[in-house]
């Protein structure tokens, strides 16, 4: 695996691979890699792509009171994991490379970024859309892979690529979970033992709620009871929502394709999860 830190070198090496007839599959990450990240890489390889991964902790997607400074950074371990997983190229830019002096552009996908996490993380999806737009322009992959764990982010990126006619295919990869159901996340390592034991309750609650919704119960009442159950276990719930999986608009009637979404804090750790409601 080759490693580069500049846009110029990244473009040159991707171009060299493309010139050999390879299709490029791109996996952007913020590092502190776990098996969820590596599942995106495995999918890219299974699809027959030469894989390019990036690690960039994007300051633009963190709010002033969020965990940018604390976010785990372990480039050497991550590079070893990517190498073992068969990645061909790792792009590891510094902040100045992505946001040089005078950088002044903000990419905003209207509506999709305004629901669910939007009100709780002002500016977050603009930060995501801006950096993903840049990374896609730098790497120019045939296909880019994103996790369904960040379902809203995936919809924002699909919207951005569609609206700006970017010539890349976006693939969503199912959420990889720990044995007890907790969605894998770089932020799980913030949890102490007591909170780690509680954390799977989010997924358990979503699954239970999905079963009840499928049987046609009262949506508002079911959401309220489930939310209280989570709160009684010490979570601070930002939202627990039943929404259209494509538009993300909250649903008050049973329509397809519907999903359940949750965001809740345990201590200083904010966890998110979502599942389809079949």
Distance of alpha carbon 132 from alpha carbon 27, whole angstroms: 11
x/- track of binding to ligand AMP for residues 30-59 (CB under 6 A)? x-----xx-xx-------------------
Pairing of strands 269-277, 143-147: unpaired
x/- track of binding to ligand AMP for residues 97-136 (CB under 6 A)? ----------------------------------------
Q: Which of 29, 51, 85, 269 lies at the binding interface for ligand AMP (CB under 6 A)?
A: 29
**CB under 8 Å to 157, separation ≥6 — which residues?**
128, 129, 132, 144, 146, 170
Q: How many CB atoms lie within 10 A of CB 53?
A: 30
| Smaller CB separation from ligand AMP, 173 or 243 | 173
Contacts by 8-14, CB closer than 8 A, 24 or more apart:
10/52, 10/89, 10/91, 10/93, 10/138, 10/139, 11/138, 11/139, 11/140, 13/89, 14/52, 14/89, 14/139, 14/140, 14/141
169 is an active site residue: no
Q: Interaction with ligand AMP in 179-218: which residues (CB under 6 A)?
A: 183-186
Q: Which of 93, 113, 127, 147 lies at the binding interface for ligand AMP (CB under 6 A)?
A: 147
| Smaller CB separation from ligand AMP, 187 or 212 | 187
Q: Which of 149, 227, 259, 270 lies at the binding interface for ligand AMP (CB under 6 A)?
A: 149
Site residues (vs ligand AMP, CB under 6 A): 29-30, 36-37, 39-40, 146-147, 149-150, 173, 175-176, 183-186
């Amino acid at each position: 695996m080759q490693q580069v830190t500049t846009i110029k070198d990244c473009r040159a090496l991707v171009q060299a691979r493309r010139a050999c007839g390879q299709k490029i599959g791109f996996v952007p990450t913020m590092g502190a890699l776990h098996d969820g990240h590596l599942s995106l890489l495995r999918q890219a390889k299974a699809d027959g792509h030469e894989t390019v991964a990036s690690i960039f902790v994007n300051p633009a997607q963190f709010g002033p009171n969020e965990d940018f400074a604390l976010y785990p950074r372990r480039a050497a371990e991550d590079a070893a994991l990517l190498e073992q997983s068969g990645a061909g190229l790792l792009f590891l830019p510094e902040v100045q490379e992505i946001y040089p002096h005078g950088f002044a552009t903000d990419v905003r996908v209207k509506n999709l970024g305004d629901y669910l996490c939007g009100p709780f993380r002002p500016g977050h999806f603009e930060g995501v859309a801006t950096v993903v737009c840049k990374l896609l322009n730098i790497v120019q992959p045939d296909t880019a892979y994103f996790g369904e764990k960040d379902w809203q982010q995936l919809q924002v990126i699909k919207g951005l690529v569609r609206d700006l006619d970017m010539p890349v295919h976006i693939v969503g990869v199912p959420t990889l979970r720990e044995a007890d159901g907790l969605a894998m996340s770089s932020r799980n390592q913030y949890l102490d033992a007591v909170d780690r034991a509680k954390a799977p309750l989010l997924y358990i609650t979503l699954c239970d709620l999905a079963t009840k919704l499928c049987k046609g119960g009262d949506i508002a009442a079911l959401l309220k009871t489930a939310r209280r159950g989570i709160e009684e276990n010490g979570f601070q719930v930002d939202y627990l929502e039943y929404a259209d999986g494509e538009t993300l608009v909250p649903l008050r009637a049973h329509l397809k394709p519907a999903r359940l979404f949750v965001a809740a804090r345990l201590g200083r750790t904010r966890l998110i999860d979502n599942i389809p409601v079949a």
